[in-house]
Amino acid sequence: MTTHGRSSCTSILIGKKASLDGSVIIGRNEDSRTAWPKHLAFHQRQAGAQTFKSHDNKFTIDLPEEAFAYSSTPEWTKKYGLFEEDGINEYHVAMSATESAYANERVLAIDPFDAEKGLLEEAMVTIVLPYVKTAQEGVKRLGEIVEKYGAAESNGILFADRDEAWYLEIGSGHHWVAQRIPDDSYTVVANQLSIQEIDFKDPANFLYSAGLQEFVYEHQLWPKEAKFNWREIFGTRSESDLHYNTPRVWYGQKLLTPSVKQEPQSFDLPFIQKADRPLSVQDAQTVLASHYSDTEYDLTNPKNAGQASFRPIGVATTQESHLLQLKGEDMYHWLAMGVTAQSVYIPFFPQGTKVPYMWGNGKVDYSPNSAYWIFKLAGVLVDRNWGKYGKELADAQTEAKEKVLRLRYEYDQKLHADPSQATAIADEANAKMAKTVTDIYNKLISSLITQQTGDSPLSFQMDPNL
């Protein structure tokens, strides 16, 4: 298997009774490199026989003849694969394929598969999302593909529809489990296998690969008399987890359930948690943008520069962050380009067909006509002195968020009033929201550059007495 330096992510899933307005919400940060642009894309319904061929290995699969319309966030280049990562299809099904989790090497060693021909993360959204009408259908389709072809890496995949959210984990080349997130609960997941006890007699809440139990017992990976704990069997308890993974889960739960006291390096943080209050999509955004604020681990604190104790949720390598929100006939593909803490989520309407200007642009080198690079440039300028310029960034973010929410409300009313014009209304809304935010950020960039002309180390002030 070949890669191009993909890193990690943090995910969140919220059940409809745990959310403030009855929405099902799933999303995550997509992390790879500090300069690796993403684009927004809208795919239209297609008919006819198609075959998917991986850009990264020899994985090939014949696809169903009908492909539904869907949104996605592909890479700037197809050289290493599509990596569409996330999106919502016309049947109100949302999907997000995470970066690979750390898998138990001993399990992979006894579950052989052909890595050169196995399913990669590159393909997951592309070969599943356009072909399913419910979250459970998505889980089952991907599960069948993993069982047949094998997976070239251990992954966690998020699914949702208007009624429920599911989280699927691949534990080895051919074995997987999926758990339905209880309606009144949420979960925060880092780069580690997280699902815990599996109830094989509860198909409404658990799905799994054929022969999973037999595989585990045959290879003596777990005692038959004990409760079947997926995390303990296929997951890890490494030193790396204590600094890289568990602290992110701890902080996400600390933000949403502060009443429960836990330790950042605990291996026993629960997969399923209940919030202390109803959760909004803004609460989910706060989690994905977080960097241990108001704790001793905050990386924006100058004393922690270059000596971080824990890997935060929001990092410089974030390419984009998305939240996929579904409620009744409403659906929003919230997208924040670049570093989440320095960007703004825009609630794009996935039923659109036209990608807003600058949201389909951007290569690996900076360019001013790319939405990704606009947000990255603002962040780079703020990074020169977060204490000095952080407030100006926060003010710009507040202005952008307020204007975007007003626009979303305005166009929601138009969509509800005339659903027959949904495509045209969505295209107009998406263009207007995108331009509003990028205009605000360009103004911020102009101000920061102007101010920073005075920050040069070559500055010299003559003593007035000379």
Listing DSSP states for 348-376 in one string gives E-TT--SPPTTTT---SS--TT-HHHHHH
CA-based nearest residue to 182, from 15, 12, 13: 15
CA dist 181 and 184 (Å) reads 8
Cα 177–320–292 angle (5° rounding)? Answer: 80
H/E segment holding residue 382: helix 371-383
CA dist 244 and 263 (Å) reads 14
CA dist 253 and 274 (Å) reads 9
DSSP 99-133: PPPBP-HHHHHTS---TTTSBPHHHHHHHHGGG-S
Catalytic residues: 9
CA dist 336 and 321 (Å) reads 5
CA dist 368 and 445 (Å) reads 11
Q: What is the pLDDT along the chain (466 residues), one digit of tens a residue?
A: 223 445 568 999 999 999 999 999 999 999 989 999 999 999 999 999 899 999 888 889 999 999 999 999 999 999 988 999 999 999 999 999 976 666 677 787 787 777 778 888 889 999 999 999 999 999 999 999 999 998 888 899 999 999 999 999 999 889 999 999 999 999 999 999 999 999 999 999 999 999 999 999 999 999 999 999 999 999 989 888 999 899 999 999 999 999 999 999 999 999 999 999 999 999 999 999 999 988 888 887 777 776 778 999 999 999 999 999 999 999 999 999 999 999 999 999 999 999 999 999 999 999 999 999 999 999 999 999 988 999 999 999 999 999 999 999 999 999 999 999 999 999 999 999 999 999 999 999 999 999 999 888 887 777 777 6
pTM metric for this prediction:
0.94
Q: What is the DSSP letter of 89?
A: B
